[in-house]
């Protein structure tokens, strides 16, 4: 059952709002529904964990909310702005300036140092950010790793670099797809605590996909997706 959606958010706040979102893929000539009418509302500054079995549509929903995958039907509002009614270039600018992303496999550029990886989204937006990148890495306990390449760091260190990178443009929204999926239990909790602290300090809205229910309990609220529908 889809979540009941309240009033639409006002422009320039940090809320997320989705109404009757559908996504269907073509597989071997057949239609395969992945999201089947998902609606949700996330308050500004809320930390939401999205859980559900494999194949439930969690990552697809995260990417759709984050402007990375256009739905076949439905609406997504980000701080009152209709995400998929704006032009592609405007959506790209919004993603760069107002959204940060963290992925399970880190997705660091192997030829760049930790400092350069963190600064990159700011450079794309035409900003100078080496000092801020260094500050963020220090806040993640990586002040001694600024000039190290990804291959010279552990998985937990790489994910902390990825968290710092997601914060470089001070976005209002952070989207994390299984951010601790490749880490052991102890490192997972350390990394998640760092992420939650970072977003709480600046009132960011956080959406995390995870299969780890112990991590999900750290958020403000847990949403459950099954077979492309939000469970009540």
At 73-96, the pLDDT tens digits run 999 999 889 999 999 999 999 999
- Give the pLDDT confidence score for residue 3 in this predicted structure: 47
Domains and CATH numbers, the chain: 44-68+87-222 (3.40.50.300)
- Give the pLDDT confidence score for residue 7 in this predicted structure: 54
| Residue 222 and residue 49 in contact, taking contact as beta carbons nearer than 8 Å | yes
Beta bridge partners of 223: 50
Percent of the chain with pLDDT over 90: 79
- Three-state SS at 21: strand
> Containing H/E element for 199?
helix 185-201
- Give the pLDDT confidence score for residue 12 in this predicted structure: 54
> Higher confidence at residue 11 or residue 106?
106
What's the rounded mean pLDDT across residues 193-217? 92
CB-based contacts of 118: which residues, under 8 Å, 6+ apart?
129, 133, 136, 137, 161, 164, 165, 168
- Give the pLDDT confidence score for residue 8 in this predicted structure: 55
Instruction: Kindly tell me the burial class for residue 227, based on how many C-beta atoms sit within 10 Å of its own C-beta (0-12, 13-18, 19 or more).
Output: middle
What is the phi-psi region of residue 5: left when phi exceeds 0, alpha when psi lies from -120 to 50, beta otherwise? beta
Burial 5-43 (b: 16+ CB within 10 A, else e): eeeebeeeebbbbbbebbbbeeeeeeeeebbbbbbbbbb
- Give the pLDDT confidence score for residue 137 in this predicted structure: 96
| pLDDT tens profile 116-134 | 999 999 987 667 788 999 9
- Give the pLDDT confidence score for residue 2 in this predicted structure: 43
d(CA 195, CA 176): 10
Give the E-state strand segments of 105-209 in sequence order.
173-177, 205-209
d(CA 63, CA 145): 30
d(CA 191, CA 61): 23
pLDDT of 54 higher than 70: yes
């Amino acid at each position: 059952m889809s979540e009941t959606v309240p009033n639409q958010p006002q422009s320039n706040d940090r809320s997320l709002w989705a109404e009757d979102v559908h996504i269907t893929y073509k597989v071997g000539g057949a239609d395969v529904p992945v999201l089947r009418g998902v609606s949700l509302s996330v308050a500004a500054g809320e930390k939401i964990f999205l859980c559900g079995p494999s194949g439930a549509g969690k990552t697809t929903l995260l990417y759709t909310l984050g402007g990375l995958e256009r739905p076949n039907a439905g609406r997504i509002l980000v701080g009152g702005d209709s995400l998929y009614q704006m032009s592609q270039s405007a959506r790209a600018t919004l993603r760069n300036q107002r959204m940060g992303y963290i992925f399970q496999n880190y997705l660091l550029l192997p030829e760049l140092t930790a400092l350069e990886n963190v600064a990159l989204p700011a450079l794309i937006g035409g900003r100078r950010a080496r000092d801020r990148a260094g500050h963020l890495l220090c806040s993640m306990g990586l002040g001694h790793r600024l000039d190290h390449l990804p291959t010279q760091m552990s998985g937990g260190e790489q994910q902390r670099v990825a968290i710092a990178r997601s914060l470089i443009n001070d976005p209002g929204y952070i989207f994390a797809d299984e951010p601790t999926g490749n880490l052991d239990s102890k490192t997972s909790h350390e990394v998640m605590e760092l992420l939650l602290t970072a977003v709480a300090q600046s009132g960011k809205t956080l959406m995390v996909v995870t299969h780890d229910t112990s991590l999900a309990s750290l958020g403000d609220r847990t949403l459950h997706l099954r077979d492309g529908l939000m469970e009540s």
